[in-house]
Amino acid sequence: MIDRPVVEFVRRTIRQAERRAAHLVMTRTSLGRRRTTTVDIAQLRDFIAAVDAGSLSRAAGVLHVSQPAISQRMANLEAHLGVRLLDRGPRGVRPTPAGEALYRDAQQLIRQFDRLTRDITVDRPQVRGPVAVGLPTTVAAPLAPALFSWVRTHYPGIHLQLFESMSGYVNELLLAGRLDLATVFREDDAPRSAELPLYSEELYLIGQPKPAPASPDEVSLVDLRHVPLVTPGVHSNLRTLVDRAFAAHGMTPLNIGDVESLGTLFRIAESGEACTILPRSVLAIHADPNSLGIRRIVDPSLRRYIAVRTATDRYEPRDSVAAVHRGIVEVTRELTAAGRWPGIHLT
Asked: is 200-303 a CATH 2.40.340.10 domain? The reply is no
- pTM higher than 0.85: no
Q: What is the CATH number of domain 4-120?
A: 1.10.10.10
- The residue ranges of every structural domain in the chain are 4-120, 129-199+305-346, 200-303
Tens digit of pLDDT for each residue in 225-280? 999 999 998 888 889 999 999 999 999 999 999 998 888 998 999 999 999 999 98
| Superfamily holding 129-199+305-346 | Periplasmic binding protein-like II (3.40.190.10)
Contact 96, 29 (CB under 8 A): no
Report how far residue 135's alpha carbon sits from residue 138's, in angstroms, rounded to the nearest whole number: 8
- Nearest-angstrom CA–CA distance, 307 and 189: 9
Share of the chain above pLDDT 70, in %: 83
User: Does 200-303 match 129-199+305-346 at the fold level?
Assistant: yes
Q: Alpha-carbon distance 223 to 227, whole Å? A: 8
Q: What is the pLDDT of residues 118-128, one digit of tens each?
A: 655 544 457 88
